[in-house]
A = this chain, B = another copy of it.
Amino acid sequence: MRIRPFYFFLIISAFMVSALGQQATPTPQLYSESTLRQLRELQKAALRSDYAYTRTAYLSNNIGPRISGSAQAQRAVEYVADEMRKLGLEVRLQKVMVPHWVRGDERGEIVEFPGMAPGTTQKIVLTALGGSIATPADGSTGEVVVVSSYEELNQLGRERVQGKIVLFNTIFDRRLAESGYGGNAYGQAVQFRGGGAIAAGRLGAIGVLVRSAGGSQNRLAHTGAMRYENGVPQIPAAAVSFEDAETLAYLAKMGKVRVRIVLTPKTLPDAESFNVIADIKGTEKPDEVVVVSGHLDSWDLGTGALDDGCGVAVSMQVPYLLKLLDLKPKRTIRMIAYMSEENSGNGGEVYGKAETANLARHVAAIESDLGASHPIGFLFSGKSEALPYFAPLSAILREQGAAQSQIQPGVGSDIGPLTRAGVPSFAPWFDTRTYFNYHHTAADTFDKIDPKQLGEVGSVTAVLAYGLANLEQPIPR
């Protein structure tokens, strides 16, 4: 007996629903035959297109680092808007006020340690965390207190922390990342980058260093956002490389270690910037929207190729491919290049707020913000009853090794406001074994993009976007 593909998907869908502990129910037609045919055509075109690759190159090589508030970020806004207009899309710039933090000089040295040659110091590779205040002009100098958790710090108490520089030396679990769980490894490590300055400042520390929250073992410091808290003294905060954390911890076990850190960042008044929003109007339900997105800002150490030039580029590629293939979605597909994901999340917040009245008409939101390694499928944030609705898309993506799907509470920070309002949300599900070796470091550069793998990301993104825009049934939400 030959099972026709569509019924095969129904069986799979039913099985998945059962597997999720739900009652199997007959599923109505989800995608028309012509949509399925078009999706396969779209997949093929995405896998061989160099559109996203060349746009990632331009964003990272020609424009460069795009930290929020910078001239490069503004140039990137214009570039993406121009490219979308070239495709004939309706483009609008949505104003977003963003932090304007500017990195200055940054250097560190160990000025006292067991065994040091007289008159010498040892350089520390460090980088200011985004949002950190500056040190005094001649630096902050203090004894290093090494801890590996908030509990350990708090047990030391004010008496042993006051006037010192705290090093949070919690490892990024590379073996966990190499096992495929890069995001989990990052999640464990990143808490000290965000909250370390508050915990140390509360006990009177004069500065905080955090071991880089990434997998690099190549003397690269990992920047990223940090926070202060009202009522707690603000102290300068920097990340040190894996190697420098190891060295400081080794030396501190032997005796007194003092470091001097110099950071000269400036926090300027918030700047005006923009989300770039470009629509391909739906032919049947133009008021219903599928968002496909990435974020246009980056950190400033590398050139933001992986985080998130490529995510913007694969989003830009969706309308490009639809035009190329003359495919007209039934619902509107909206490309959004969000601004200031890294440094505030303001772009996502502004868009979410502006669309409060239209959230029910946002049928889906997709964001790609975890690099461009091989996608094994997609992550979904929404009701488990909805999963079978995407099985036909997974069946198409199976040919490129991307048939997996999984429910996850949140899948992208810019689309978070939509997700939390009940908009079914999606992200490519990546092999994250290497992403965190580069992410937020100076090595996040264009050469890290593998064109074949980027093609696969572009395909997952395009198939999801066009499939959801043409879905015959509303997604349960």
Q: Once bound together, how far apart are the Cα atoms of A268 and B344, in whole Å?
A: 49
Interface contact B246-A117, CB-CB below 8 Å: no
Q: What is the minimal beta-carbon distance from A476 to any residue of chain B, in angstroms?
A: 45
Q: Kindly identify which residue among B64, B117, B242, B246 contacts A71, using a CB–CB cutoff of 8 Å.
A: B117
Q: A376 at interface (Cβ–Cβ under 8 A)?
A: no
Residue-wise, chain A 106-120 has the 8 Å CB interface mask toward B (1 for contact) of: 000000011111111
Q: A314 at interface (Cβ–Cβ under 8 A)?
A: no
Q: A216-B218, A218-B218 are in contact. Are A63 and B447 (CB under 8 A)?
A: no
Interface contact B302-A219, CB-CB below 8 Å: yes
Q: Kindly identify which residue among B57, B71, B120, B441 contacts A70, using a CB–CB cutoff of 8 Å.
A: B120
Interface contact A74-B117, CB-CB below 8 Å: yes
Q: Kindly identify which residue among B122, B242, B443 contacts A64, using a CB–CB cutoff of 8 Å.
A: B122
In the bound complex, residues from chain B placing their C-beta under 8 Å from that of A446 are: 243, 246-247, 250
Q: A420 at interface (Cβ–Cβ under 8 A)?
A: no
Q: A162 at interface (Cβ–Cβ under 8 A)?
A: no
Q: A243 — nearest CB in chain B belongs to which residue?
A: B445
Q: Once bound together, how far apart are the Cα atoms of A74 and B116, in whole Å?
A: 11
In the bound complex, residues from chain B placing their C-beta under 8 Å from that of A122 are: 64-65, 303
Q: Once bound together, how far apart are the Cα atoms of A180 and B293, in whole Å?
A: 43
Residue-wise, chain A 429-472 has the 8 Å CB interface mask toward B (1 for contact) of: 00000000110011101111000000000000000000000000
In the bound complex, residues from chain B placing their C-beta under 8 Å from that of A125 are: 442
Q: What is the minimal beta-carbon distance from A135 to any residue of chain B, in angstroms?
A: 19
Interface contact A114-B62, CB-CB below 8 Å: yes
Q: A242-B447, A246-B447 are in contact. Are A220 and B218 (CB under 8 A)?
A: yes
In the bound complex, residues from chain B placing their C-beta under 8 Å from that of A92 are: none
Q: What is the minimal beta-carbon distance from A205 to any residue of chain B, in angstroms?
A: 24
Residue-wise, chain A 204-235 has the 8 Å CB interface mask toward B (1 for contact) of: 00000000000011111000000000000000
In the bound complex, residues from chain B placing their C-beta under 8 Å from that of A438 are: 218
Q: A117-B74, A246-B446, A447-B246 are in contact. Are A219 and B62 (CB under 8 A)?
A: no
Interface contact B247-A115, CB-CB below 8 Å: no
Q: A94 at interface (Cβ–Cβ under 8 A)?
A: no
Q: A58 at interface (Cβ–Cβ under 8 A)?
A: yes
Q: A251 at interface (Cβ–Cβ under 8 A)?
A: yes
Interface contact A442-B219, CB-CB below 8 Å: yes
Interface residues on A, range: 35 or more
Interface contact A118-B71, CB-CB below 8 Å: yes
Q: A61 at interface (Cβ–Cβ under 8 A)?
A: yes
Q: A405 at interface (Cβ–Cβ under 8 A)?
A: no
Q: Kindly identify which residue among B75, B115, B246 contacts A62, using a CB–CB cutoff of 8 Å.
A: B115
Interface contact B220-A75, CB-CB below 8 Å: no
Q: What is the minimal beta-carbon distance from A245 to any residue of chain B, in angstroms?
A: 10
In the bound complex, residues from chain B placing their C-beta under 8 Å from that of A250 are: 57, 61, 446
Q: A191 at interface (Cβ–Cβ under 8 A)?
A: no
Q: A72 at interface (Cβ–Cβ under 8 A)?
A: yes
Q: Which of A78-99 contact B (CB under 8 A)?
A: 79
Q: What is the minimal beta-carbon distance from A298 to any residue of chain B, in angstroms?
A: 13
Q: Once bound together, how far apart are the Cα atoms of A438 and B62, in whole Å?
A: 29
Q: A72 — nearest CB in chain B belongs to which residue?
A: B117
Interface contact A247-B61, CB-CB below 8 Å: yes
Residue-wise, chain A 343-358 has the 8 Å CB interface mask toward B (1 for contact) of: 0000000000000000
Q: A61-B251, A115-B62, A247-B61 are in contact. Are A217 and B71 (CB under 8 A)?
A: no
17 A–B contact pairs at CB < 8 A?
Answer: A57-B250, A61-B115, A61-B250, A62-B251, A63-B115, A64-B116, A64-B117, A70-B117, A71-B118, A71-B120, A217-B447, A217-B448, A218-B441, A219-B220, A219-B443, A247-B303, A250-B446
Residues of A in contact with B (beta carbons under 8 Å apart) = 57-58, 61-65, 70-72, 74-75, 79, 113-120, 122-123, 125, 216-220, 242-243, 246-247, 250-251, 254, 302-303, 437-438, 441-443, 445-448
